[in-house]
A = this chain, B = another copy of it.
Amino acid sequence: MEITEFKKVVDNYDVVFFDAFGVLKNSSGMIPHIEKTFEYLIRKKIDFYILTNDASKGPKSLAQSYIDAGFTMINEEKIISSGMLAREYLRMKVKDGKVAYLGTKQSAHYLEETGLKALSIADLDLNKIDDVNALVFLDDEGFDWREDLNKLVNLLRLRNIPVMVANTDKSYPVSDRMVAIAVGSIADMVENITGRKFIKFGKPDSSMFIFAYEHTLSTREIDKERVLMVGDTLFTDIIGGNKFGIDTALVLTGNTLKEHYEERIKAMGIIPDFVCPSAVVY
């Protein structure tokens, strides 16, 4: 499968969905020259959104990190995160009471918008759990792992409540050599201990793409054929876009490297419409 410059690809679409990590940024910061891509998209009136499995912050905070890096065009309207999907699910299905969460106060942003009272596992008293009606895994920070994960396991033994996982990633890079355990791995451990089935959000599940597409539709009329998904990971970004029925471009700046992409595309049978060296428009 041949490699095409991203500029040639993107010219054929009206809306672009970008994965964040491995496409726009990596553990060293923003991908060099990626600002040119956004300048080009704006000039060409191509709309864009960022689809991320990061539920550790609200869209405002997520956007701020781009703005701080000089990308003022990436405001909170441009961010679609798996945390929003968990929020919508709660809004529809949990009518009252408290929602316990694992994560920082900042990550609880999503929950407060539902009208439910958000309660950090760190502040939970196991003797007062009668009105705890849901639990959400948001982030790997903001709590004492040993004390609060044990508390969480016992909460689930004492209360039959829905459990949502807003980020299913297993680990995330913190430098070019080091990774950190992501909240998705913690959720898998608790699911395994308790024998429960959790409700999981985020790519490759199609709901992320539906949510983004409906969000797009609320601002403009658009056909699915005019939407492109750009990602670095075959088993989340590309299969998710393929199954949702939009075109997909694999970039080689993250999880999938130039030396392996052909073999991995074949082996997994997850076939992007395009392969580009990066998402940079030169």
Contacts and interface: CB of A to CB of B under 8 A. Distances in A.
A149 interface: yes
Among A85, A146, A186, residue most surrounded by chain B Cβ atoms (within 10 Å)? A146
Given A206-B205, A207-B206, A270 B188 contact: no
Q: Chain A interface secondary structure, helix, strand, loop or mixed?
A: helix
A211 B186 CA distance: 33
Interface stretch (A20-28, A102-110, A193-201): A193-201
Copies of this protein, total: 4
Contact of A199 (B85, B88, B146, B239): B239
Interface stretch (A11-19, A50-58, A176-184): A176-184
A154 B178 CA distance: 6
10 contacts: A93-B242, A93-B271, A149-B181, A160-B263, A162-B269, A185-B189, A185-B192, A196-B267, A198-B269, A201-B243
Interface in A109-158: 134, 140-141, 144-146, 149-150, 153-154, 157-158
A179 B88 CA distance: 32
Given A89-B242, A270-B199, A185 B193 contact: yes
A4 B134 CA distance: 24
A29 interface: no
A245 interface: yes
